[in-house]
Structure 1
């Protein structure tokens, strides 16, 4: 493997601490490196030193002659008055960039929906991020340095970026270094993981899942080190091995070693106990949406939404920006009234929403953290049944990564991640029984995300999550829905099914007749058209009779799945209200539920096959 870049004895200090002390690293052709670590430990500083954007206090970085590097910063900086097209392709003529397959692919994947001549000042944060990525990726580089590339991207954008980076260079060529908190992205793209901690950089083979296994092994060998961190990592490894979507079929780490490490780790959630507690707190009726719709100024946002939220339900919501996710959350919380249909809430329902705006902290900005929590509840129950334990707010803060010294810090001086954790704590101490999380992973590192997930595992209520962080969404929820065509659709196949449905929508839209192109043919639409020519060939079309038969079977499968899922949900609700000491009856009921879930799983496979045939 040819050497591209080397760093020798890097030392870096900031006014309050030493960030790195004599760090030596190397990057070679074919490396795909993910950089992880806690906020403030120096991940971005390391990336910028290696990229030549920041000088170390001592040590040196050497680059092989002729090696080119491209850098994506966390902040998207553009020239004043710049437009989308000029920012992405510069002064190149259309025939130049349109003749480059890579440039066409990037433009089609990231900015085909944007006006080529739109000023960047008029774009949203997510749109500006896509323009910044496109500007970088249309160029040719030997090494790419990406600092939080998935920020502001939706699930589709993240999936496209992962696929592009995997295809960007031939095997064994080019190099990628990426700092991100998106664990799905790390696992999908990276073959090596560097953990930044305690002034050093520790390398691990493999992506995020492999890194978790090796970290557990490391911590187990030194059992006295970071005991709490070890337990969280082992719990996360248990989830990764026991059925995380799209991971169990990929042997990214040694299966026998993983199974041995998690042998004594229980299931991440005690669903029976949580269901029982949820029914006790909520009753059997939570929030029912019946033919609910919302329209503003003649524009329909949601239409005919039917959804009966059950006690203890844990659901993730997917949809493109502007699809109506926030409107749906507003219907559930009561912040939005339906313009058609109705919304019915149970009498005991108490909804709390973790917003993206940190509203709960506004009145406390000048107060120390200790003062903020002093007037709250004296205890918080974590876990259920015999495993339940009472934690004080201070203990809960410690569990969420706060040190005792930080209790005296004014809220305004906390980092973004610390404010996010404090915001969640304030909401949980209010003891809601329906919790809505709107992009809860912003500003959190991977360890703090694991701590939040651990806390939510023992939260006994109905949980609704909107997040572009695929790993978090799959980890804390048991099912996913999507807003497609102004309606709410259940996704038996999870995020993968959502991406397939969105790809089918895009293909149908591209195949629809369009007005004649404007003179000159310049702009991203032309790029998207050219890029689509490089996509996979479509499957042979079904005959009319075959299509009708497939559509009929698909409808029958959907009806049967809905019925079985309803039966399973009723059985789980009944299980929660049964005598918990009658083990024979409980076992019989669990056997019945398992059989129903197995039948649903088989039907989901057939549903996916039929959907693929009909695309």
Structure 2
């Protein structure tokens, strides 16, 4: 493969610390490289040196002649006074950029909802970020360097970006280097992973799942005692191998030793045991929302929402930006009152809320972290072990030297760790997480998921981080057109529904005339037909829940079955296949009905 750029013996040093010490690496044609590592370990500095924006103390970066290098920083260089359209396509005439399929795709995927003539300085932070990303992607580049490109993108935006990056160059050309905490994007796009740590860079083949697999193997080989094997990454790997085996099948390296390492690791959590504990703490009634509507002024955000939340349920909420996810969480927590309908909470319910604004830390900003911890309970039990608040914070990746820092002086990621710790120590039996992955690196995310695995209670998560959502929740609901609906097929089904919902209206390029009849309705049904369809949807959902319980029962029976009874195991296997076929048929019917009622 042809060489695009290389870094030789890079050394980067600041007065207080050495960031890199003699790092040598390169990017070749066809490379798709993800950069991971703890916050503050130098990921952005490495990207800056490769892009020529950061000068190394010693060493050098060389590029092949004529290589075009495009960079997305965490801070943009947009002109506040320029219009959105000009910021993206420059002075190019409309017939030129509108006739370019790539430009149209970028505009539709990132800025279709932003006023083409709006002033950049008047945009929100998220809109501005999308304009900066669009301005970069419409250009022709041999190498793209992206620093946290998924910030402010919703789940559909992340899916679009992954698809765009996979299609942008032929397989054996172009180069991508991306820093992101979005582990799904790393798995979907990257063929190589660089881990930045302790002043060096380690290279691993494959995306995030492959990186975890190789990292566990590396730790296994370096381990001197059995206790070394009992690390967090074993559990993470066990989930990856059970829940996403296709991801680890791509890289070509020996995995037998790593698989042996996790052969005795149980599933990340025991849902039946957690539900039993949750019922003991919560009772059978948690939160019931019945026919709720929420209106702000003339805008109806939520309508006809009926949702009965049970003890021990782990639910993810999907929806585009502005769909009403935070409003729904407000209904659950009591911070938002319904305009119509009612919300009933069980008498024993204690809700803990982790929001995007760090509101839990507002009143303690001037206190030192150790003073805050001293006011909390003395121990917290995780996996049967009693941990002090300081030990729990350290388990979340918080350095002990930061215990003396004031809360307001902490970085965003450190504040998120402290916020989660205080939430757990308040001993809620219902936890609501609103975008918990903001400002958090992949190691912290794995630690957070590990803690949530053993937490007995009801969990509700809103996140654009697909990996986290699929990892810690067992079912997903989506907000579409202001209504809450169950999506048995999870994120993939939600994205299909969104594409079906947007077809015919979402394909218009900003600043141009839509080619089809925008707003035309398809598949409309009468009121009586709609009620009949909704009744069948409810029946299908009830049958799906029943079949799902039967599938779990068969799995339990097979686990307890005598392995020498081959005919009996075969009967169980046939029964399981029949149930799985019925699930597939029911989900297909549910999708057809859902598209009818919109």
Query: Could you tell me the TM-score, scaled by structure 2's length?
Result: 0.88
- Is 1:490 aligned with 2:490? no
After TM superposition, the structure 1 stretch with the greater mean CA deviation from structure 2, 218-227 or 324-333, is 218-227
Counterpart CA distance in 2 for 1:608 and 1:285 is 28
For the structure 1 residues 250 and 556, does the alpha-carbon distance in structure 2 shift closer, same or farther, using more than 3 Å as the test? farther
* Structure 2 equivalent of residue 145 of structure 1: 145
After TM superposition, the structure 1 stretch with the greater mean CA deviation from structure 2, 25-34 or 74-83, is 74-83
Aligned-pair Cα RMSD in Å: 3.1
Give the Å deviation of 1:595: 11
- Is 1:110 aligned with 2:110? yes
Counterpart CA distance in 1 for 2:278 and 2:550 is 14
Equivalent positions of 1:169-188 (< 5 A) are 169-188=169-188
* Structure 2 equivalent of residue 14 of structure 1: 14
CA contact (8 A) 2:540 2:590 kept: no
* Structure 2 equivalent of residue 434 of structure 1: 430
* Structure 2 equivalent of residue 71 of structure 1: 71
SS in 2 for 1:509: coil
- The one of 599, 605, 611 equivalent to 2:584 is 605
- Is 1:251 aligned with 2:231? no
- Is 1:559 aligned with 2:539? yes
For the structure 1 residues 249 and 151, does the alpha-carbon distance in structure 2 shift closer, same or farther, using more than 3 Å as the test? closer
Counterpart CA distance in 2 for 1:464 and 1:597 is 30
CA contact (8 A) 2:47 2:145 kept: yes
* Structure 1 equivalent of residue 202 of structure 2: 202
* Structure 1 equivalent of residue 472 of structure 2: 476
* Structure 2 equivalent of residue 154 of structure 1: 154
Give the Å deviation of 1:272: 2.3
Counterpart CA distance in 2 for 1:105 and 1:480 is 29
- Is 1:362 aligned with 2:341? no
CA contact (8 A) 1:568 1:596 kept: no
CA contact (8 A) 2:69 2:144 kept: yes
Give the Å deviation of 1:597: 9.3
For the structure 1 residues 11 and 445, does the alpha-carbon distance in structure 2 shift closer, same or farther, using more than 3 Å as the test? same
* Structure 2 equivalent of residue 409 of structure 1: 405
Give the Å deviation of 1:122: 2.4
CA contact (8 A) 2:278 2:456 kept: yes
Q: Which has the higher contact order (CA 8 A, sep 6+)?
A: 1
CA contact (8 A) 1:439 1:467 kept: yes
* Structure 2 equivalent of residue 578 of structure 1: none
Counterpart CA distance in 2 for 1:463 and 1:200 is 38
For the structure 1 residues 401 and 228, does the alpha-carbon distance in structure 2 shift closer, same or farther, using more than 3 Å as the test? farther
Equivalent positions of 1:37-436 (< 5 A) are 37-224=37-224, 231-244=231-244, 247-248=245-246, 251-253=249-251, 256=256, 258-383=258-383, 388-436=384-432
For the structure 1 residues 53 and 201, does the alpha-carbon distance in structure 2 shift closer, same or farther, using more than 3 Å as the test? same
* Structure 1 equivalent of residue 564 of structure 2: none
CA contact (8 A) 1:219 1:226 kept: no
Counterpart CA distance in 2 for 1:474 and 1:187 is 14
CA contact (8 A) 1:107 1:527 kept: no
Give the Å deviation of 1:391: 1.2
Deviation string 1:393-441 (CA, Å, 9 cap, x unpaired) is 1111111112322211222222211110001111111101111000001
SS in 1 for 2:585: helix
Counterpart CA distance in 2 for 1:440 and 1:80 is 30
CA contact (8 A) 2:544 2:583 kept: no
For the structure 1 residues 557 and 474, does the alpha-carbon distance in structure 2 shift closer, same or farther, using more than 3 Å as the test? same
CA contact (8 A) 2:295 2:302 kept: yes
CA contact (8 A) 1:37 1:445 kept: yes
Residue-pair matches, total: 567
CA contact (8 A) 1:242 1:248 kept: no
Counterpart CA distance in 1 for 2:92 and 2:226 is 54
For the structure 1 residues 597 and 316, does the alpha-carbon distance in structure 2 shift closer, same or farther, using more than 3 Å as the test? farther
Give the Å deviation of 1:77: 3.0
For structure 1, the 5+ residue unaligned runs are 515-522, 533-540, 573-582, 585-592
SS in 1 for 2:311: coil
* Structure 1 equivalent of residue 567 of structure 2: none
* Structure 1 equivalent of residue 458 of structure 2: 462
Query: Could you tell me the TM-score, scaled by structure 1's length?
Result: 0.86
CA contact (8 A) 1:41 1:199 kept: yes
Counterpart CA distance in 1 for 2:330 and 2:537 is 32
CA contact (8 A) 2:108 2:506 kept: no
Give the Å deviation of 1:136: 0.2
Counterpart CA distance in 1 for 2:377 and 2:551 is 35
Deviation string 1:481-512 (CA, Å, 9 cap, x unpaired) is 0001111010111000010000001104359x
SS in 1 for 2:503: helix
